[in-house]
Amino acid sequence: MAACTLRDELEVAETGGKKMSKPNWYALWVKSRSEFVTSQELSRKGIENFVPAATRVRQWADRRKKVDFPLFPGYVFVHILPGGEEFLNVVQTRGSVCLVCLEPGRPTSVSPQEIAALRILLESGSQIDVYPTLKEGAAVRVKRGPLSGAVGILEKRKGQDIFLVNIEILGRSVGARISAEDIEQA
Which one-letter amino acid corresponds to residue 60?
A: W
CA-atom Rg of the chain in angstroms: 21
Considering the domain architecture, whether residues 84 and 144 belong to the same structural domain is answered as: no
Residue 115 shares a structural domain with residue 31: yes
Question: How many domains are there within the chain?
Answer: 2
Residue with more model confidence, 17 or 10 = 17
- Chain-centroid distance of CA 9 in Å reads 26
Q: Does a structural domain hold residue 3?
A: no
Do 94 and 159 sit in the same domain of this protein?
no
Task: Write the single-letter amino acid at 33.
Answer: R
Residues near 178 by beta carbon (within 8 Å), at least 6 away in sequence: 142, 145, 147, 162, 163, 164, 165
Task: Dump pLDDT digits (tens) for 88-140.
Answer: 999 999 999 999 998 888 999 998 988 888 888 888 776 665 555 667 777 77
**In a shared domain, residues 113 and 144:** no
Q: Could you give the CA distance from residue 143 to residue 27 in angstroms, rounded to a whole number?
A: 28
- Whether residue 134 is contained in a domain is answered as no
Whether residue 165 has pLDDT greater than 90: no
Q: For a pLDDT cut of 70, what percent of the chain falls above it?
A: 73
CATH number for position 81: 3.30.70.940
Q: What pLDDT was estimated at residue 20?
A: 59
- Residues 97 and 177 occupy one common structural domain: no
Q: What is the pLDDT of residues 22-43, one digit of tens each?
A: 999 999 999 999 999 999 999 9
Q: Do 112 and 143 lie in a common domain?
A: no
Specify the pLDDT at position 123: 84
Which of 121, 114, 111, 107 has the alpha carbon at shortest distance from 28? 107
* Structure confidence at residue 174 (pLDDT): 52
What are all long-range contacts of 149-154, with beta carbons under 8 Å and residues at least 24 apart?
151/186, 154/183
- In terms of domains, do 52 and 115 share one? yes
**What residue numbers bound the domain in which 52 lies?**
12-123
The answer to whether position 166 is within a domain reads yes
Q: How confident is the model at residue 6 (pLDDT cuts 50, 70, 90)?
A: very low
- Is residue 146 one of the residues assigned to a domain? yes
